[in-house]
Chain A
Amino acid sequence: SQTIHQWPATLVQPVGSPLSLECTVEGTSNPNLYWYRQAAGRGLQLLFYSVGIGQISSEVPQNLSASRPQDRQFILSSKKLLLSDSGFYLCAWRTTGGVSGYTFGSGTRLTVV
């Protein structure tokens, strides 16, 4: 069966420190992968998506970057965190082509202090 793993679940980091959030998918190949951010009480903002290894598209200019070193691995990074990077980060995948919904990971609560 298909599953998605996202970690860590919570993270508290000081301003200016680096960030690395990892997401892996099992049970499928060549998925479309996504990173979303959700500010408190707000909707989801698409940050990055990837349709294949090494292919990253960014939806908004920001302090973050993403990489896809393997087919089922998606990493969200920052060299220096800002206070405004705090939020709830969600990884998601869906099948390439066709019509299907997202499957979301359980999320990472990032607090930058």
Chain B
Amino acid sequence: SQQGEEDPQALSIQEGENATMNCSYKTSINNLQWYRQNSGRGLVHLILIRSNEREKHSGRLRVTLDTSKKSSSLLITASRAADTASYFCATADVGQFYFGTGTSLTVIP
């Protein structure tokens, strides 16, 4: 399967702390994306990192990609209660994206 797998499945932190989520995948990819899903809502695209990139930033988000280890991490710095959501990585080779099962993040005020 090409699906990404996020780790941990669930994460609970205090507001202000950093949250790190990891994603591992099995096949070669063109790019990897991270999405956020609030409970009962659609997914929102957060950031895309191409296979030839190693790190990318967007606001409080930092994504790294290690193609040799077939893994990626999403770091949310200075977390806020509003960051509480599920986070998914999606990998793409040619054509479609395949999503992992997600990390459920709870930020406690």
Contact = CB atoms under 8 A, between A and B. Distances in A.
Interface string B35-67: 100001111110010100000000000000000
B52 to A, nearest CB: 11
A110 interface: no
B96 A46 contact: yes
Nearest to A10: B40
A44 interface: yes
Report the contact-size class of chain A (Cβ under 8 Å from the partner): 20 to 34
B42 A104 contact: yes
Contacts of B30: 99
Interface in B1-28: 3
B41 A102 contact: no
B84 interface: no
A27 B96 CA distance: 22
Contacts of B77: none
Contacts of A88: 40
If over half of B's interface residues share one DSSP class (helix, strand or loop), that class is named, otherwise mixed; here it is strand
B100 A43 contact: yes
A102 B96 CA distance: 10
If over half of A's interface residues share one DSSP class (helix, strand or loop), that class is named, otherwise mixed; here it is strand
B43 A43 contact: no
A107 interface: yes
B73 interface: no
A25 B94 CA distance: 23
Contacts of A106: 41-42
Contacts of B31: 99
7 contacts: A34-B96, A43-B99, A90-B43, A99-B48, A101-B45, A102-B97, A107-B40
B100 A102 contact: no
A43 B42 contact: no
B101 to A, nearest CB: 4
Contacts of B35: 101-102, 104
A110 B87 CA distance: 22
Contact of A44 (B40, B41, B99): B99
